[in-house]
Amino acid sequence: MRRTPLSIAVSTALLGAALSMPAHAQTPTELELARKLDRLAAELAEVKAQLATLRAQGGNAGTAAAASEAGTATRAAPAPATADAAPAAGRPTRAELPTRAELAEPATVLTSYGEINYTRPTKAPQDAQVDLRRFVLGFQHRMDSKTRLVAELEVEHAVSSADDPGEVALEQAFVERELGARLAARAGLFLIPAGMLNENHEPTAYYGVHRNFVETAIIPSTWREVGVQLIGNLDNGLTIQGGLSTGFDVGKWDATSTEGAESPLGAIHQEGAQARARNLAVFGAINWRGVPGLLVGGSAFSGAASHSQPLLPSARVSLWDLHARWSPGRWDLSSVYARGSISNTAALNATLVGNPTLIPERFDGWYLQGAYRLWSQGDYVLSPFVRLERFNTARDYADLGAGLTPQAAGTERVTTVGVNFLVGQGVVLKADVQRFGLVSANNRVNLGLGWSF
Amino acid sequence: MRLTLFPAALVALAPASAFAVHYLSAEQAQKLMFPDAERFELRDVAADAGSTHAGDAPMQVRIARRGDATLGYVVVDEVVGKFERITYAVGLNRDGSVRQVEVMDYRESHGHEIRLPAWRRQFEGKTVASAIRVGEDIANISGATLSCQHVTDGVRRIVARIDALRRSGSLG
In the predicted model, is pLDDT for residue B9 greater than 90? no
Kindly state whether residues A403 and A330 are assigned to the same domain: yes
**A255 domain-assigned:** yes
Kindly state whether residues A57 and A135 are assigned to the same domain: no
Is residue A258 very low, low, confident or very high in pLDDT (cuts 50, 70, 90)?
Answer: very high
Q: Does A17 touch chain B (CB under 8 A)?
A: no
In the predicted model, is pLDDT for residue A118 greater than 60? yes
Indicate the pTM of the whole model: 0.79
Average model confidence (pLDDT) for chain B?
Answer: 84
Q: In the 3-class helix/strand/coil scheme, how is chain A assigned residue by residue?
A: CCCCHHHHHHHHHHHHHHHHHHHHCCCCCHHHHHHHHHHHHHHHHHHHHHHHHHHHCCHHHHHHHHHHHCCCCCCCCCCCCECCCCCHHHCCCCCCCCCHHHHHCCCEEEEEEEEEEEEEECCCHHHCEEEEEEEEEEEEEEEECCEEEEEEEEEECCCCCCCCCCEEEEEEEEEEEEEECCEEEEEEEEECCCCCCCCCCCHHHCCCCCCCCHHHHHCCCCCEEEEEEEEEECCCCEEEEEEEECCCCHHHCCCCCCHHHHCCCCCCCCCCCCCCCCCCEEEEEEEECCCCCEEEEEEEEEEECCCCCCCCCCCEEEEEEEEEEECCCCEEEEEEEEEEEECCHHHHHHCCCCCCCCCCCEEEEEEEEEEECCEEECCEEEEEEEEEEEEEEEEECCCCCCCCCCCCCCCEEEEEEEEEEEECCCEEEEEEEEEECCCHHHCEEEEEEEEEC
**A273 domain-assigned:** yes
Average pLDDT over residues A367-396: 97
Nearest CA in chain A to B136: A329
Per-residue confidence (pLDDT) for residue A54, from 0 to 100 = 66
Nearest CA in chain A to B6: A228
Average pLDDT over residues A187-198: 98
Q: Does A278 touch chain B (CB under 8 A)?
A: no
Give A40 to chain B, closest Cα distance, Å. Answer: 28
Average pLDDT over residues B100-105: 94
Q: In this structure, which amino acid lies at residue A335?
A: S
> Are the CB atoms for A318 and A302 separated by under 8 Å?
yes
Kindly state whether residues A183 and A278 are assigned to the same domain: yes
Nearest by CB to A330, from B3, B62, B135: name it. B135
Per-residue confidence (pLDDT) for residue A298, from 0 to 100 = 98
Taking the C-alpha atoms of A215, A216, A217 and A223 in order, what is their torsion angle to the nearest 10 degrees? 100
Kindly state whether residues A217 and A80 are assigned to the same domain: no
What is the rounded distance in angstroms from the CA atom of residue B44 to the CA atom of residue B75?
11
In the predicted model, is pLDDT for residue A183 greater than 90? yes
Kindly state whether residues A302 and A405 are assigned to the same domain: yes
Lowest mean pLDDT among A54-63, A94-103, A289-298, A359-368: A94-103
Per-residue confidence (pLDDT) for residue A62, from 0 to 100 = 38
Kindly state whether residues A163 and A242 are assigned to the same domain: yes
Kindly state whether residues A74 and A174 are assigned to the same domain: no
> Are the CB atoms for A300 and A320 separated by under 8 Å?
yes
Kindly state whether residues A64 and A145 are assigned to the same domain: no
**A253 domain-assigned:** yes
In the predicted model, is pLDDT for residue A299 greater than 50? yes
* Contact (CB<8Å) A187/B20: no
**A434 domain-assigned:** no
In the predicted model, is pLDDT for residue A289 greater than 70? yes
Per-residue confidence (pLDDT) for residue A156, from 0 to 100 = 97
Kindly state whether residues A170 and A55 are assigned to the same domain: no
**A356 domain-assigned:** yes
Beta carbons within 8 Å of A42's beta carbon, 6+ residues apart: none
DSSP 8-state class, residue B15: P
> Are the CB atoms for A231 and A240 separated by under 8 Å?
yes
**A29 domain-assigned:** yes
Per-residue confidence (pLDDT) for residue B56, from 0 to 100 = 76
pLDDT tens readout for residues A218-231: 999 999 999 999 99
Is residue A56 very low, low, confident or very high in pLDDT (cuts 50, 70, 90)?
Answer: low
* Contact (CB<8Å) B23/A181: yes
Nearest by CB to B109, from A83, A145, A184: name it. A184
In the predicted model, is pLDDT for residue A98 greater than 70? no
Lowest mean pLDDT among A43-52, A328-337, B10-19: B10-19
Per-residue confidence (pLDDT) for residue A29, from 0 to 100 = 61
Beta carbons within 8 Å of A254's beta carbon, 6+ residues apart: A260, A267, A357
In the predicted model, is pLDDT for residue B84 greater than 90? no
Is residue B128 very low, low, confident or very high in pLDDT (cuts 50, 70, 90)?
Answer: very high
Per-residue confidence (pLDDT) for residue B109, from 0 to 100 = 77
Per-residue confidence (pLDDT) for residue A87, from 0 to 100 = 38
Question: What is the number of structural domains in chain A?
Answer: 2
* Contact (CB<8Å) A185/B10: yes
What angle, rounded to 10 degrees, do the helices at A30-56 and A59-69 form? 130
> Are the CB atoms for A99 and A178 separated by under 8 Å?
no
CATH code of the domain in which A239 resides: 2.40.160.10
A222 preceded by cis ω (within 30°)? yes
**A64 domain-assigned:** yes
> Are the CB atoms for A172 and A151 separated by under 8 Å?
yes
Give A216 to chain B, closest Cα distance, Å. Answer: 18
In the predicted model, is pLDDT for residue A332 greater than 80? yes
Per-residue confidence (pLDDT) for residue A53, from 0 to 100 = 61
Give A276 to chain B, closest Cα distance, Å. Answer: 14
Higher pLDDT, A67 or A222: A222
Kindly state whether residues A242 and A367 are assigned to the same domain: yes
What is the rounded distance in angstroms from the CA atom of residue A177 to the CA atom of residue B170?
45
Domain range enclosing A28? 5-90
Per-residue confidence (pLDDT) for residue B106, from 0 to 100 = 87
Average pLDDT over residues A406-411: 95
Best of B113, B122, B137, B150 to disrupt the A interface (most A CBs within 10 Å) is B113
Per-residue confidence (pLDDT) for residue B111, from 0 to 100 = 81
Chain A neighbors of B116, CB-CB under 8 A:
235, 237, 289-290
Average model confidence (pLDDT) for chain A?
Answer: 85
In the predicted model, is pLDDT for residue A93 greater than 50? no
What is the rounded distance in angstroms from the CA atom of residue A450 to the CA atom of residue A41?
67
Query: At CA B52, angle to CA B46 and CA B57, rounded to 5?
Result: 35
Kindly state whether residues A148 and A257 are assigned to the same domain: yes
Per-residue confidence (pLDDT) for residue B13, from 0 to 100 = 37
Q: Is residue B40 classed as helix, strand or coil in its secondary structure?
A: strand
Kindly state whether residues A254 and A313 are assigned to the same domain: yes
Instruction: Please state the ipTM of this predicted complex.
Output: 0.79
Percent of chain A residues past pLDDT 70, beyond the cut: 77
**A122 domain-assigned:** no
